[in-house]
Structure 1
Amino acid sequence: MRQPSAPRAPRTGPTRTGAQRPPDPRAPRGADLVIPADELADLHADWDEPVPDDDAPREQPEVAPGRPDRAPRAALPGRAPVSQLDDRLAERRRARSRVLWTRIGIGVGVLLLLVGAVWAVGFSSLLALRSDRIVIAGEGAYLDRDAAVAVVEEAVGTPLVRLDTAGIAARLEERPDVADAVVTRDWPGGVTATLTPREPVAVAAAADGGESELLDLVGPDGVVVASVAPDAAPGDLPLLTVDMTQDGAQDTVLAVLSVLDQLPPELREQVRDAGATSPDAIELRLHSGSSVGWGSAAESDLKARVLLTLLQVPATRYDVSAPEAPTTS
């Protein structure tokens, strides 16, 4: 039979304030437990640790070195005070506002620059056409350069970007001495008009019905390039002899002029006059007194080469209306 153990001596030493050791459910009720000495020492060590008092003041964390602007946390660890959070949100709103207004300022500045550039280029006189910057390019015996300059000067003061170069070229081509015109801008304030003069290919009696003694110099398209006195007419131009009262006289004149325009210079200077009764019956008369039956204006290049060969044989009449089978008499 088990002998009852001696009563436990009361524990001495510091105890945990307000704490009691819970009973071990495994311990038999009404019986005393025997605890080994080493375990008992461990229990005494645990109980001897001081218990933190909730009313005692807590240590404040030190400020991180190099971050003087960070205030020490006075609240629970990991949570910023409400006032500090509001300051940061306000600073963020101010930063966003500064970025927004900076962008708006940049946009307004760029817009003003664009408006100023458009005004300077398209509406101011900074890049407008000046009369001293007009250049007329092209050479011709009957080209009136002063008249061409006067046409271009009508646009003086117009900004180059708004200058109607095609319209200026069209007005230049309306002149009888200009066959073709190309107008280009010459920055910052000039233009260059390149003109192809209309060259006469025949001399005709003045269209006033003989009331004047002037002769008309006629171009290949039937346009009168200039009117000159008989002694001023070029000697290498043939006289155009077409009855202008006949039906289709204009077509006949154009056919004759087309033939004269295609003649090589060494052959044209031998032609004294050219006429026709119809576009298909063109006749040439040479300074030698011989006549040439040309026919229509078709194959004029071939006919000219054949005639130059036939002229090596003296004859009264040369017929090249059929260039593959020419005849002389």
Structure 2
Amino acid sequence: MAGPTTAESGERHQRESGPHRPPRTGRLLRLRMLIILLCAFGLVVGGCIWLLYGSPWLRVQRVSVSGARVLTETQVREAAGVRLGTPLISLDTDAIGARLRRRLPRIDSVDVVRSWPRGIGLKVTERTPVLVVGDGGKFVEVDGEGVRFATVPHPPAGVPALQLTVSRSVGLRRFGIDRLTREAARVAREVPAAVARDIRTVKVGSYDSISLELTGGRSVMWGSDEKGGAKAATLSALMRAAPRARHFDVSVPTAPASSGS
């Protein structure tokens, strides 16, 4: 009997040795596809970087200012120091805000935002003076936290003067002018609105001896800044109960007093 032919032997060997491995050309195709995808990804990333940093389209062309009342928009822009043509993405908004507050102490806070594609917005909040201190013919504005933030040639309308009559005593050495100024500013801020309109001078004799001079020759002994809310409510009630009184004492809000007529 004749043995198997060569073709039959080849088929049997193929069945016994299992399926064929993927052809070499398939691995090459997958490798090429991976290289193409990596190149495409690199092009996209490079394009994005160029768009943000190198292209002329996403660069600062305008700096807008809002919220300024006393300061001018030009002053704010110049203090911000934002150069036109700078890529928007490279601007440090925190540094711009810090620079503005340092160069313009009148600014209490500022919000620096990118306005894509070509703008920067500066939204400033200015400090509001609650007291003014005379200084050699000029006047220093003081805000509600006792911060001296601006020197002006004329006192702002409706802002009471701060008069420090503190002697070189133990109290002054203990608290200091800055601390006493903060206390006076807080008192001016806590006084009822109806009374605040009539304040002409806030006098500070010591930490616990702060008084107010009002229009019409009236005065208020406030004491220290402690229990400010209770003192404000007591003063309002006392003025309603004794509308013709000239002197009021709320330094101890549980035992107020009024005198004069």
Please report the TM-score for the alignment, with normalisation by the length of structure 2: 0.80
Secondary structure at 2:194's aligned position in 1?
helix
Q: Is the 8 A contact 1:307 1:320 kept in 2?
A: yes
Residues 275/128 of structure 1: CA separation in 2 closer, same or farther (3 Å cut): same
CA displacement, residues 44-99 of structure 1 (integer Å, 9 cap, x when unaligned): xxxxxxxx9x7xxxxxxxxxxxxxxxxxxx9524747xxxxxxxx9x932343233
The aligned counterpart of 1:93 is: 24
Residues 105/244 of structure 1: CA separation in 2 closer, same or farther (3 Å cut): farther
Aligned partner (choices 135, 140, 145) of residue 216 of structure 1: 140
CA displacement, residues 147-173 of structure 1 (integer Å, 9 cap, x when unaligned): 212233435443333321111112222
Q: Aligned pair 1:203/2:132, yes or no?
A: yes
Letter of the 1:98 counterpart = L
Q: Aligned pair 1:303/2:220, yes or no?
A: no
Structure having the larger proportion of residues in helix? 2
**How far apart are 1:293 and its partner, in Å?**
0.7
Aligned partner (choices 259, 283, 286) of residue 211 of structure 2: 283
Q: Aligned pair 1:167/2:95, yes or no?
A: yes
Structure having the larger proportion of residues in strand? 2
**How far apart are 1:317 and its partner, in Å?**
1.5
Secondary structure at 1:129's aligned position in 2?
coil
The aligned counterpart of 1:151 is: 79
Q: Is the 8 A contact 2:166 2:206 kept in 1?
A: no
**How far apart are 1:124 and its partner, in Å?**
4.6
CA displacement, residues 218-257 of structure 1 (integer Å, 9 cap, x when unaligned): 2222313340335xx30x2111111477432222121111
Letter of the 1:168 counterpart = I
The aligned counterpart of 1:129 is: 60
Q: List gaps (5 residues or longer) in structure 2.
A: 12-19
Letter of the 1:249 counterpart = I
Letter of the 1:204 counterpart = V
Aligned partner (choices 191, 194, 200) of residue 120 of structure 2: 191
Letter of the 1:280 counterpart = D
Give the Cα separation in 2 of the matches to 1:295 and 1:123.
63
Please report the TM-score for the alignment, with normalisation by the length of structure 1: 0.64
Residues 292/216 of structure 1: CA separation in 2 closer, same or farther (3 Å cut): same
Letter of the 2:199 counterpart = V
Give the Cα separation in 2 of the matches to 1:170 and 1:111.
37
Give the Cα separation in 2 of the matches to 1:164 and 1:75.
80
Residues 127/244 of structure 1: CA separation in 2 closer, same or farther (3 Å cut): farther
The aligned counterpart of 1:57 is: none
Q: Aligned pair 1:237/2:159, yes or no?
A: yes
The aligned counterpart of 2:105 is: 176
Secondary structure at 1:324's aligned position in 2?
coil
**How far apart are 1:283 and its partner, in Å?**
0.9
Higher relative contact order (CA 8 A, sep 6+): 2
Larger Rg: 1
Letter of the 2:246 counterpart = T
**How far apart are 1:114 and its partner, in Å?**
1.0
Give the Cα separation in 2 of the matches to 1:224 and 1:245.
25
Residues 186/100 of structure 1: CA separation in 2 closer, same or farther (3 Å cut): same
C-alpha RMSD over aligned residues: 2.6
Give the Cα separation in 2 of the matches to 1:294 and 1:243.
15
**How far apart are 1:327 and its partner, in Å?**
0.8
Q: List gaps (5 residues or longer) in structure 1.
A: 1-51, 55-73, 81-88
% identity of equivalent residues: 27
Give the Cα separation in 2 of the matches to 1:273 and 1:308.
19
